[in-house]
Each structure stands twice: as C-alpha cells, then as structure tokens.
C-alpha cells in the first residue's frame, strides 16, 4: 500500500490550498454565517473550473477521471479552510452514490452536470433523531412517487438533486425543484453548512440500481468516511497550528505562553493524534483506490482517528486562546462547530466503534471456531 502522495497530488493540494486560502478567509466565513447564503458561489464556480468537482468522476461522465486519493487531497484542503461550498454533499456523497448505484441513464444525465458545478446534489438518509439505519427507513418509493420526511439533509436548499434512501433499503433519485418537495430550514450548530428538513409528498422520483441496498449504503459510507477523514485531518492540523501560533505570539508572566510545559505537552498530544489520523487516512485512501477487502476496517479506523483528532484539536485550540477564543472575531469557533458536525454527519464515534469491532471480531470468529 502506497502511503505517500504522488508529486501530482502534492501539486494538486497546493493549488487547491492557494485558492481556498484566498477565498475562504475567516472574514469571508464570518460574513457567510449571517448572510443565509450557505455557499460562496464565486468560489464554487472557481472550484468547478479547476476540475475539482469532477476529479474522481470518470471522463465518460464529464469528469477528470483521477482516483479516489485525489478527491481525498481536495477534501483535506476543504477541511483545513472550512470551505463554504457543498463539496462533501454533492461530490463525496451524491456523485459517489450515483457512481455506485445510478443507472446508466442517470449517470449520463447527472454526473456531467455535477462535475461542472451546474447541478448541486445531496444525499438524504437520516429521519430525525437516531443513527442512520437502513432497516428502519420509512420514506417510500412506489409507482415513481416518493413520500416521507428526511432530516437533517445537508445543503438541501442549495441542491437541485437528491439521492434519497427509501424503505428496502433502496435508493431513489429526486429532483428537488418540484412541487412535491417542501423544505424547512433547520437552525444548526454549524451554520456554515446549512441543513434542512425535507418533506416529500408524492414527489416524482426514480429508482436507482442498488441490487443490495444494505451493501450499497455500507460501501457509500465507507468511502465517504475516508474522504471525510481527510477533511477532518486537514482541519485538525489547522486548529493545532492555530493554537501553536497563538501561544507563540502571546506572553504571560514574562514568558511566551508556548514555553509552558502544560501547553507544549497538550500540543504534543494533539500532534500525535493528527499524525495517527493522517497515517490511518492515507492507508484507507490506498484501500479505497484498490477497492481492497479491508476497506470497511480501514475506513472505520480512519474515521475514528480523524474524529478524535479534530474534536480535541478544535476544543483545545479554543481553550489555549483563552477568553479571546470565545469571541466572534477570533477564528476558533469555525473549527469548534465544524468538528461537531463532522463527528456526527456520517454517524457518531459509537456507531463506527461498533462497526469496527463487529468487523474485527467477525474476522476472529473463524479462528476461534
């Protein structure tokens, strides 16, 4: 397994990073939170023009046809800058779902538009409180009509198209711009990625081609967890460096704050978590590119490592800033909020711990028998 980035991937990372550093500045994020827009349209256009949205979409569907690892590299930069674009919903969830379970006609119709950024797509599974669970989905697809309530759905107000999990489980493809679909915006903890409750009342919908719905959903979330592990790792590193830089610049009791062992050791522990997260994420990316048999274990490992690193880095970053960290003008809150969103959007640590231990103990079982 190759755990390094290729020279091209390093260049890609740098190119994406430059664009996002310029556009997704803290001041731009602060403005967006209160503007209700939920997206920086200008940035979205540029991200699309650079070919980033279609990076992992095959050329026959209007993409660039790079590998999953290239998408990981982009996701890492998106996480580092808390970029205000629906990249994860449209590309890492919806486009991936189409690639996994779309009919030929669906892929041919929608993927080129998603790759160009003309269409924003999202993915809807959860139905209120509780972990996303394939067995208890109540939304129904019958006779080309979709009925049910999905919540929370990320970037729903921006999206033209949704892949919706329905009873079976099966997947349905729904145009959101139709009279059978009604949105109710949610007030979220992280308003930089807006969510909505979506009501489907006999909405026109098409069945997708998921023969084994359970397996399709598992694969989709394993893949998404790897992309998100990069997003989280990039973000965790960014929060760690923010804390480091702040403590280097501040003096207390006649010394640099960063010179206190209590501060150094806390940041050293965070560095360890970030490096473990990065190592696990790189392994999972290689497993993803190879579609390896151990992808479920690798994805769960990467997600758990990255979730922990980001949550702790985000909390301690605010803590080490002291009182100023609690202010709107300081930039700690972007990560503080985003870390929570990414810790739960694909399922909590407890959910993934369960998946991981189940998979590992299943491997153990034949040996014990």
Burial code (b: 16+ CB inside 10 Å, e: under 16) for 292-320 equals: eeebbbbbbbbbbbbbbbbbbbbbbbbeb
Spell out the residues 6+ positions from residue 226 whose beta carbon is closer than 8 angstroms to its own: 68, 72, 281, 284, 285, 287, 288, 298, 299, 302, 303
Binding window for other proteins (CB under 8 A); candidates: 13-21, 157-165, 241-249, 324-332? 241-249
Q: Examine residue 258 and tell whether it contacts other proteins (CB under 8 A).
A: yes
Binding mask 25-64 for other proteins (x = CB under 8 A): ----------------------------------------
Task: List, in sequence order, every beta strand (DSSP E) within the chain.
Answer: 121-124, 140-142, 145-154, 161-166, 170-175, 181-185, 195-207, 251-252, 255-256
Q: Examine residue 356 and tell whether it contacts other proteins (CB under 8 A).
A: yes
Least separation in angstroms between CB 153 and other proteins: 28
Please identify which residue in 301, 317, 331, 345 interacts with other proteins, judged by CB under 8 A.
301
Nearer to other proteins, 143 or 254 (CB): 254
Q: Examine residue 238 and tell whether it contacts other proteins (CB under 8 A).
A: no
Q: What is the distance in angstroms between the CA of the first residue and the CA of the last residue of the chain? A: 31
Tokens encoding 21: 């550093």
Binding mask 310-349 for other proteins (x = CB under 8 A): ---------------------------------------x
Strand partners, 172: 164, 207
Binding window for other proteins (CB under 8 A); candidates: 170-178, 205-213, 257-265, 339-347? 257-265
Residue 7, judged by CB atoms within 10 A of its CB (0-12, 13-18, 19+), counts as exposed
Least separation in angstroms between CB 369 and other proteins: 12
In contact, 160 and 89? CB cutoff 8 Å: no
> C-alpha 38: how far from its chain's center?
16
In contact, 30 and 328? CB cutoff 8 Å: yes
Q: Examine residue 268 and tell whether it contacts other proteins (CB under 8 A).
A: yes
Q: Examine residue 279 and tell whether it contacts other proteins (CB under 8 A).
A: yes
Residues 147-166 that bind other proteins (CB under 8 A): none
Please identify which residue in 259, 319, 324, 327 interacts with other proteins, judged by CB under 8 A.
259
Q: Report the interface residues with other proteins, using CB under 8 A.
A: 1, 3-4, 240, 244, 247-248, 255-256, 258-259, 261, 263-265, 267-269, 271-272, 275-277, 279-280, 282-283, 300-301, 304-305, 308, 349-350, 352-354, 356-357, 360-361, 363-364, 367-368
């Amino acid at each position: 397994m190759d755990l390094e980035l290729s020279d091209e991937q390093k260049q890609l990372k740098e190119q994406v990073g430059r664009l996002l550093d310029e556009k997704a500045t803290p001041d731009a994020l602060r403005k967006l939170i209160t503007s209700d827009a939920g997206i920086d349209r200008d940035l979205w256009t540029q991200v699309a023009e650079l070919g980033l949205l279609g990076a992992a979409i095959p050329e026959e569907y209007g993409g660039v046809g790079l590998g999953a690892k290239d998408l990981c590299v982009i996701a890492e930069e998106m996480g580092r800058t808390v970029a205000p674009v629906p990249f994860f919903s449209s590309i890492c969830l919806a486009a991936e779902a189409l690639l996994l379970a779309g009919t030929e006609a669906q892929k041919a119709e929608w993927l080129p538009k998603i790759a160009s950024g003309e269409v924003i797509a999202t993915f809807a599974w959860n139905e209120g409180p509780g972990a996303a669970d394939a067995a208890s989905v109540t939304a129904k697809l019958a006779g080309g009509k979709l009925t049910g309530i999905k919540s929370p759905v990320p970037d729903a107000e921006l999206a033209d198209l949704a892949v919706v999990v329905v009873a079976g489980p099966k997947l349905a493809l729904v145009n959101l711009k139709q009279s059978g679909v009604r949105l109710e915006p949610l007030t979220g903890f992280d308003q930089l990625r807006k969510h909505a409750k979506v009501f489907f009342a006999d909405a026109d919908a098409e069945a997708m081609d998921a023969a084994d719905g359970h397996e399709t959903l598992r694969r989709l979330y394993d893949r998404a967890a790897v992309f998100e592990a990069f997003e989280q790792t990039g973000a965790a590193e960014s929060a760690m460096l923010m804390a480091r830089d702040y403590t280097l610049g501040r003096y207390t009791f006649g010394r640099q704050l960063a010179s206190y062992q209590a501060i150094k050791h806390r940041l050293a522990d965070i560095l360890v978590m970030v490096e473990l997260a990065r190592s696990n994420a790189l392994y999972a990316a290689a497993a993803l590119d190879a579609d390896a048999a151990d992808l479920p274990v690798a994805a769960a490992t990467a997600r758990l490592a990255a979730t922990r690193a980001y949550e702790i880095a985000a909390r301690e970053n605010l803590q080490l800033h002291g009182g100023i960290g609690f202010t709107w003008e300081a930039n700690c809150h972007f990560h503080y909020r985003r870390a929570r969103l990414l810790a739960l959007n694909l399922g909590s640590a407890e959910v993934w711990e369960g998946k991981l231990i189940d998979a590992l103990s299943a491997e153990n079982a034949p040996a014990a028998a």
